[in-house]
Structure formats: C-alpha cells, structure tokens
Amino acid sequence: MELSLTEAQTSFRDDVIAFLNESLPEDIKETQKSGGHLTKEQHQRWHKILGDKGWSTPLWPEEHGGTGWSPVEYAIWDEECYRTGAPRVLPFSVSMLGPVLINFGNDEQRDRFLPGIRSGEDWWAQGFSEPGAGSDLASLKTTAVLEGDHYIVNGQKTWTTLGQHGDWIFCLVRTDANAAKPQTGISFILVDMKSPGVEVRPIITLDGSHEVNEVWFTDVKVPAENLVGQENMGWTYAKFLLQNERIGIAGIGQSKEQLVSLKRLAASEQKNGKPLVEDQSFRAKLSEVEIELRALDLTNKRMLVETERGMDPGPVSSMLKIRGSEVAQRLFELKMEASGLYALPFQPEAGDPGWNDELVGSLAQARSAPHYLNTRKISIFGGSNEIQRSIISKMMLGF
C-alpha cells in the first residue's frame, strides 16, 4: 500500500503551510508553543480567521460549509497545525454538535445555529457526563419535563470543559423515567446558558487549572423547539456524536510535535556533564516511544487510505485511541523527567525568597508537570481505553 503523499496532497500541504504562516497571530502561536492556556478571545479570534477562510468546519458536508477535504487532507491539516503552533478548533460545536444538527436537526435549527458555529461567535459546551454517569452514560439523571411549549430541566452535569465561557450547552436529558431501557428514555436538547436557573461552578484540577466545571440546572425553562430530533431518541444521536468526538483523538500531530520538543530539551539538559540525550537509559526510553509513535502514525495513515477507498476501518479507530493516548502520556512523562526540578509546579518569580536565575527553568519546563497531570485524562475521555478494548474484542473475537 502506497503511504507517501501524492503530488496533489503535497501541493495541499504547501497551501496549508502558507496559510498558517501568513494568518496565525503571533500571540496565539507563542501561547501554544509555550504550553500556555488560550483565552476565550484568542480561541474565538482564531476560529473567526478560519471561518473567513472557509476552513473552520472542514469535515462538514460542503453544502453546509465544509471544505470537501479527504481524510488524508484533514490529517495533513491537523499535523501542520500542531507543527506551526496553531490551535485546533474546539470540538464541541464543530465536531460534535454541528454534525448532529446537520443529520438530525430541522431546517430552522440548522439556519439558527450553524452560522454561529462556523464563525465561532457562539461558544458551545457539552453536557453529557454526570457524577454518577460517566462511562455508564445511560445512567444520567438530569430530567426534562415538557410543560406546554417548554421543557423544565433539573439536574447536574460535570467535567464540562471550558463551560465557564459557554453561551449554549447541548445536553442529554431524561425525558421518560419509565422507559423499558435507560437508553430509550433520553433526549438531546439545546440550552441557553444565560437562562435563569443555570449555574456554572468551577472545578480546579490537579494541575491547578480551571478547565472543567459543574453545571447545575434548577427549573430551567427551555423552549420545546430546542429539542433536537425526536423525543427519547437522544441516545442514538449521542452515539453518532461520540463517533465524531473520536476523530483525531489519537493526537498524532500533537505527539510528533511533543517528540521534537522532548529531543530539543534532552539535548540541552545535562547529566553527569553530558547532554541528557547521550545517557544510555534515557536514550532507550526516548527510542522506545519514538518507535511506538512511528508505528501509530503508519497505522493511522493505513486507516486513512482505507477510509478514502470506502473500506470500514473496523476496530482500528479504537486501537489508535488506546495507543495514541498511551504514547502521549509517555511523552509527557519523559518531558517531566528531562525537566528535573524545573518541572516543579511552583516556579518562583523575581523578588521571591530563594530566587536565582539558575533555579527558574523555561516556561515549557515549568509547565511539564501540569501537562503530565492533565494528560492522565486522555485515556478516559472519548470512551475509556478499557471500553475501547471491549469494542476491539467484540469486533475481532465476537465477544
């Protein structure tokens, strides 16, 4: 199977590189390259730039604003974004809600919500997980009761990523408490986060950041017209959405860039008077993760070629999710090891007791421990690795 780029794909890569070099704002690039957190304004500014170019929703059908890119072209775009320092467009609106509205929403909902998703003007959050319903999502307890032309929503969602910025949230809610199966009593509904009764409470994670939240609903009135598709069919839409969530979840482009950064760091740090990269033990670890990443990259390219030919990738997407998350976690482990004491979550500033120039490492080193802690989650979200292994066993072994 030919895995090298065609002439047309190489030309496409050149166009992507030229656009990114010309259009990516320097402050956004610097924030990304240093491992910092983008502000809401930075996210939306970059999203608008992509929207003006027509590249903010690349995987949508062309009639709804998609680019018509092939899977290989999308992979090229994804990889070049990471290499250049361009942030990925947040998936909640573009990769999750948008395809659901296109496939299951009505014309009024598409006309109302898709333009704001393409432009990035509307910030969407995802309301799926609950304290007692994570991997077992069908156990969710948030309710929506129809009263006249409104639903009354009560309950709690958790781990709502960047929900503190949200304008809207798409939620799975229970609309039939007496359904024969839990999955058949769930609906998919859109909630304005400015509605009375919506409360967002921050969750400060182990790395010290405010990335996720709890969202509480207390007698929130939601117009019935905000129900997507049919009542009690939300589980079907959720499964469709989760398939889109897993697109690119292997994070190969990000891992390639992290490998480059790790090698640079290992070449600059010293151990016993020599660069760390020359230490036999560290070199073995570095070589092992690079081999794993190359195998992952080749497997991903094989799947992309097969997908373009109309073949079903089968369990490969689950395999990529497992190995991709493990490789990413391993890279951040090694980056923290290479950073040594500079990886300490606390970094003193000028004037602090004990300050000296030698004590303070680079921003990238100082952020390696928080990043290590944050990446522990990637083997859980989008379907935990345990669930992915169950999927593989069912598809390949029949049980």
Q: Which of 181, 188, 133 is nearest to 158 (CA)?
A: 133
- Given 73, 130, 245, 269, which residue is catalytic? 245
CA distances from 367 to 11, 119, 258, 362 (A): 36, 31, 13, 9
* Catalytic-residue membership of 245: yes
CA distances from 50 to 31, 116, 120, 248, 340 (A): 18, 13, 9, 18, 38
Structural contact between residues 25 and 45, judged by C-beta atoms closer than 8 angstroms = yes
Residues with a known catalytic role:
245
